[in-house]
């Protein structure tokens, strides 16, 4: 099969002033297409990086939150998360958001992965972390613009909530995909360790047989 030509980056010729909309800014940029040589103006949304947290209780329940979303004028079922403050460690930001939005804390965050929420127009990254053995230790500390209900669901119920689109937030779906990859990787590592252990035991038995 013939490979397509290698793509080239689009040179930035000019960047305009960003317009601030509080939670994000919009900046016009002029870039030239390497293929056609034509220059176009594109709008880039500059937003802080985000973090999402898959929090699991000792009973393997997922700490979910239900809240109103203005974009769809309806409620969504999500996982805790929010903006990473400038200079803040992403894992620490995830633990902070979990406690603020739910009152839960747990073990140190485990990094699962990053995604670009919408690289067509946004420049930010959303990180996903796993926090295990999450327990409620206090009350929520919500911002004035937040109204959240905490929902606990068994981890085994998540696939059904995804299939039914009860969970429809794309970044939350990506987070559970990261969790699945993490689980698969851990299972593969355990399997490899067990296989190595069996091989060592077989070798020791064979050596004892040779010297018996």
Q: Is residue 74 part of a domain?
A: yes
Regarding whether 84 and 16 lie in a shared domain, the answer is no
Does residue 57 sit in helix, strand or coil?
coil
Average the pLDDT over 175-204 and give the result.
73
Distance from C-alpha of 157 to C-alpha of 166, rounded to nearest angstrom: 11
Q: Looking at the domain assignment, is residue 194 inside a domain?
A: no
Identify whether residues 139 and 114 lie together within a single domain. yes
Q: Which domain holds residue 107?
A: 50-186
Q: Are both 103 and 150 inside the same structural domain? A: yes
Tell me the C-alpha distance between 107 and 97, whole Å: 14
Do residues 102 and 117 both lie within one domain?
yes
Do 40 and 142 belong to one domain? no
Residues 39 and 97 in one domain: no
Q: Quick one: pLDDT band at residue 135, thresholds 50, 70, 90?
A: very high
Q: How far apart are the first and last CA of the chain?
A: 59
Decide if pLDDT at 197 tops 60: no
97 and 25 in a common domain: no
In sequence order, which residues have a C-beta less than 8 Å from that of residue 64 and are 6 or more positions away? 77, 78, 79, 150, 151, 152, 153, 167
User: In 10-169, which ranges are continuous DSSP H helix?
Assistant: 90-102, 158-163
18 and 96 inside one domain: no
Task: Look at residue 1 and tell me if it is in a domain.
Answer: no
How many independent structural domains does the chain possess? 2
Instruction: Rounding to the nearest 10 degrees, give the CA dihedral for residues 77, 98, 172, 71.
Output: 60
Any domain includes 181:
yes
10-58 tens-digit pLDDT: 999 999 999 999 999 999 999 999 999 999 999 999 999 999 999 999 9
Pair (32, 61) in one structural domain: no
pLDDT the model gives residue 4: 78
* Residue 185: predicted pLDDT: 84
pLDDT tops 80 at residue 199: no
Is 82 inside any structural domain? yes
For the chain, the maximum distance between any two Cα atoms, rounded to a whole number of angstroms, is 82
Q: What is the CATH number of the domain that holds 160?
A: 3.90.79.10
Query: How far out from the chain centre does Cα 63 lie?
Result: 15
Q: Say if residue 31 is in the same domain as residue 72.
A: no
Closest alpha carbon to 32 in 7, 14, 5, 6: 14
In a domain, 210, yes or no: no
Reference 48, options 70, 23, 81, 69; nearest CA is 23
Q: Are residues 102 and 178 in the same domain?
A: yes
């Amino acid at each position: 099969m013939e490979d397509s030509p290698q793509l080239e980056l689009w040179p930035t010729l000019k960047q305009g002033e960003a317009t601030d909309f509080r939670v994000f800014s919009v900046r016009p940029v002029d870039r030239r297409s390497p293929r056609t040589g034509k220059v176009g103006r594109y709008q880039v949304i500059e937003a802080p990086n985000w973090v999402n947290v898959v929090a699991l209780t000792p009973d393997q329940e997922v700490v979910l939150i239900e809240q109103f979303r203005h974009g769809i004028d309806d409620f969504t079922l999500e996982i805790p998360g929010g903006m990473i403050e400038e200079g803040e460690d992403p894992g620490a930001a995830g633990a902070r958001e979990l406690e603020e939005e739910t009152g839960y804390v747990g073990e140190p965050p485990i990094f699962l992965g990053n995604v670009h929420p919408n690289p067509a127009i946004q420049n930010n990254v959303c990180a996903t972390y796993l926090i295990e053995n999450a327990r409620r230790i206090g009350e929520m500390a919500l911002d004035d613009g937040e109204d959240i209900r905490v929902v606990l669901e068994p981890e085994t119920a998540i696939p059904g909530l995804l299939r039914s689109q009860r969970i429809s937030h794309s970044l939350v779906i990506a987070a559970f995909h990261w969790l699945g990859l993490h689980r698969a990787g851990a299972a593969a590592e355990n399997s490899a360790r067990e296989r190595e252990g069996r091989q060592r035991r077989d070798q020791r038995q064979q050596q004892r047989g040779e010297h018996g």
